[in-house]
Amino acid sequence: MDKLIITAAICGAEVTKEQNPAVPYTVEEIVREAKSAVDAGAAIVHLHVREDDGTPTQSRARFQECEEAIYKVCPDVILIPSTGGAVGMSPEERLQSTDTTPVPEMATLDCGTCNFGDEIFDNTMPTMRAFGKRMLERGIKPEYECFEMGHLDTILTMARKGEVPGAPMQFNFVLGVPGCTAATVPNLCWLVQNIPAGSTWTCTGIGRHAFTMAAPAIVMGGNVRVGFEDNLYLERGVLAKSNGELVDKVVRMAKELGRPVATSAEAREILNLKK
């Protein structure tokens, strides 16, 4: 079993300081939270960016500024910029995060349209083809974000057709979003059993499911994502003071379950990346 890769999704596009004062908006705050996560044991930082007032943005310039600042304090970290952005953004707007220099090692690719609570997260087939084409052209490895069971079949069909990068594939199974696939162990098992041999995968449990889904992912040989984007609480009623606290809890869980944690260099080998 490979070492455990921990991803920290440090700010997302929707959570606010009103919900947790530690949610980062400014470049300095984003760097602070990235460093806290990496220092605690995260090999990967999944990156959204905000304007200073908290407004979500996919501005290439803002991504460039944040990435450069993060690399100054965490030079070895793997950054996975979001191409999801926020609900309502256009595909062209969302793809700006792949235009930074150097070209990102990885980026997210969302695998289908779905309900996000009361909103609709729009990922049409033409949108996914455009995102796949961009990543094929620039040598970016996608992390395939599956929020629904059917998303897996969709993206595997696209990979067979050469519309998106193929093997070896990295999946992130995001479970527990209201309106999407429930965060249960049977659902996770079904998804894992249906990915191609040689693939890697991560599990993200939303809200109160963050750590109840982390535990089975650890013992099943998968990887784990935590962070303010997905969950603001260290435990019931206790707000996390940093992304580092959330990562540290996963590190402690992994230690108790006998699973060593991967460094960024080790994660690159597991994910077949070359910096």
Q: For Cα atoms 110, 111, 112, give the angle at the middle one, nearest 5 degrees.
A: 105
> What per-residue confidence (pLDDT) applies to 104?
97
Distant-in-sequence, close-in-space partners of 266: CB < 8 Å, separation ≥ 6: 3, 43
The two three-digit tokens of residue 242, written as one number: 């940093």
Assess contact for 210 and 177: CB atoms under 8 A.
no
Q: What does each C-alpha distance from 124 to 30, 52, 80, 88, 128 come to in angstroms?
A: 30, 31, 22, 13, 6
pTM: 0.97
> What per-residue confidence (pLDDT) applies to 274?
72
Compute the distance between CA of residue 31 and CA of residue 28 in angstroms, rounded to an integer. Answer: 5
Q: Indicate the residue type of 94.
A: R
Compute the distance between CA of residue 156 and CA of residue 167 in angstroms, rounded to an integer. Answer: 10
> What per-residue confidence (pLDDT) applies to 66?
98
Distant-in-sequence, close-in-space partners of 28: CB < 8 Å, separation ≥ 6: 69
> What per-residue confidence (pLDDT) applies to 87?
87
CATH of region 6-271, choose from 3.40.50.10260, 3.20.20.70, 1.10.20.10, 3.30.540.10:
3.20.20.70
How confident is the prediction along the chain (275 residues), in pLDDT tens digits per residue?
899 999 999 999 999 999 999 999 999 999 999 999 999 999 999 999 999 999 999 999 999 999 999 999 999 999 999 999 998 899 999 999 999 999 999 999 999 999 988 999 999 999 999 999 999 999 999 999 999 999 999 999 999 999 999 999 999 999 999 999 999 999 999 999 999 999 999 999 999 999 999 999 999 999 999 999 999 999 999 999 999 999 999 999 999 999 999 999 999 999 999 75
Compute the distance between CA of residue 175 and CA of residue 178 in angstroms, rounded to an integer. Answer: 9
> What per-residue confidence (pLDDT) applies to 1?
87
Question: Of 174, 97, 94, nearest to 140 (Cα)?
Answer: 97
Strands (E), the chain: 6-9, 44-47, 49-50, 56-57, 78-81, 106-110, 114-116, 119-121, 141-146, 170-175, 200-205, 223-226, 233-235, 238-239
> What per-residue confidence (pLDDT) applies to 275?
58
